[in-house]
Amino acid sequence: MSVVAVFGAYGHTARFVTAELLSRGHTPVLSGRDAAKLEFAAPPGVETRVATVDDPDSLDRALAGADVVINCAGPFAETAPALIEAALRAGIHYLDVTGETIVALDTFGTYGDDQRIKDAGIVVAPVMAFYGALGDLLATVAMGDWTTADDISIAVALDSWQPTRGTLLAGARRAGRRVVFRDRQLEVVPAEEPAPHASWTFGAPFGVQEVVGQFSTTDVITISRHLDTPQVNAYLNLTPLKDLSDPSPDGPQATDASGRSAQVFLVEVAVRRGDEERRASAQGQDIYAFTAPIVVEAVDRILSGRTRAGGVVTAGEIFDPEDFLRALPFDNLSLS
């Protein structure tokens, strides 16, 4: 199997990623900036390497011998450029789990046409996580044989959201700004402009929910990169927003042996062309834990050549979307 460097390895999401790598027979090599936290988080027998983003030599040592690096250290504005450059020096694939729209925009903008990535034959796949990959894959399946859609909507329902420190820091950096895609343009809407509200009829167990529009999810960026539509709408139900505005200092609470919280998610995507609508949806447990099978499934497919694109890519671009989704441990998956 493969050697996979995990940066930011003692974070909440990274621990699920490491466990997933081990369960699939990979050899994770854990790195992060704090030696003590790194040692404490490492499962028995797993190698650790201290590294910081402002010391390129330490990053080179952290990635030495690895086939791929997964960057889990967020907020990502500080970490993504340094790790992508280190992956380029090492000639290995780079994946991250950022949920930050503005960072994702910067990564695709800065590296999208980077000749070094093409020459190295590596994949740079930011946003290979619950937000950013799942909606993109569902939308790509829903499009099916359509080459264009009048609009694509993604609606996310969560029954709760106890955020991690990384999520809260990322939210503070976003400061209410929202990335939207309309009239075929990605634009950043300032915090002062109020977000629209609407209602969305979800499947069970959520039903009709009041939702906030212009939800600044990275799916808006990934979907609009490769599916032909003038508009992507993104909605989130209001329940989790209350948790985000009054978060528990303890973060997500484990409710099973794997460390997953009880959080339930449902992601629905609707693509519309004239009077026709096609839908796809996926339901599961714990958006942080669920990021691990997404990013590790991506690693497996990239390393075994089960890809249909290279360079700087989204999940929907690079993978067979239906096959990828069917490999994930959802409680319910509807690809009608």
Ligand X SMILES: NC(=O)c1ccc[n+]([C@@H]2O[C@H](COP(=O)([O-])OP(=O)(O)OC[C@H]3O[C@@H](n4cnc5c(N)ncnc54)[C@H](OP(=O)(O)O)[C@@H]3O)[C@@H](O)[C@H]2O)c1
Residues contributing to the site for ligand X (CB under 6 A): 8, 10-14, 32-34, 53, 72-75, 78-79, 97, 99, 129-132, 164-167, 170, 218, 287-288, 291
Assign residue 25 a region: left if phi > 0, alpha if psi is -120 to 50, beta otherwise? left
Q: Which is nearer to ligand X, 120 or 215 (CB)?
A: 215
**Angle (CA) 197 200 202, round 5°:** 150
Nearest to 195 by CA among 177, 221, 219, 207: 177
Q: How far is the CB of 23 from ligand X (least distance, A)?
A: 18
Q: Which is nearer to ligand X, 4 or 14 (CB)?
A: 14
Q: How far is the CB of 131 from ligand X (least distance, A)?
A: 4
Give phi and psi for 156, each to the nearest 5. Answer: -115, 130
- What is the SS3 string spanning the chain? CCEEEEECCCCHHHHHHHHHHHHCCCEEEEEECCHHHHHHHCCCCCEEEECCCCCHHHHHHHHCCCCEEEECCCCCCCCHHHHHHHHHHHCCEEEECCCCHHHHHHHHHHHCCCHHHHHHCCEEECCCCHHHHHHHHHHHHHHCCCCCCCEEEEEEEECCCCCCHHHHHHHHHHCCCEEEEECCEEEEECCCCCCCEEEEECCCCCCEEEEECCCCCCHHHHHHHHCCCCCEEEEEECHHHHHHHCCCCCCCCCCCCCCCCCCEEEEEEEEEECCEEEEEEEEEECHHHHHHHHHHHHHHHHHCCCCCCCEECCHHHHCCHHHHHHCCCCCEEECC
Q: Which is nearer to ligand X, 34 or 60 (CB)?
A: 34
Q: Which is nearer to ligand X, 118 or 165 (CB)?
A: 165
Q: Which is nearer to ligand X, 14 or 120 (CB)?
A: 14
Q: Which is nearer to ligand X, 121 or 329 (CB)?
A: 329
Q: How far is the CB of 300 from ligand X (least distance, A)?
A: 19
Q: How far is the CB of 134 from ligand X (least distance, A)?
A: 8
Q: How far is the CB of 133 from ligand X (least distance, A)?
A: 8
Q: How far is the CB of 175 from ligand X (least distance, A)?
A: 15
Q: How far is the CB of 107 from ligand X (least distance, A)?
A: 13
Q: How far is the CB of 171 from ligand X (least distance, A)?
A: 8
Q: Which is nearer to ligand X, 149 or 236 (CB)?
A: 236
Q: Which is nearer to ligand X, 4 or 129 (CB)?
A: 129
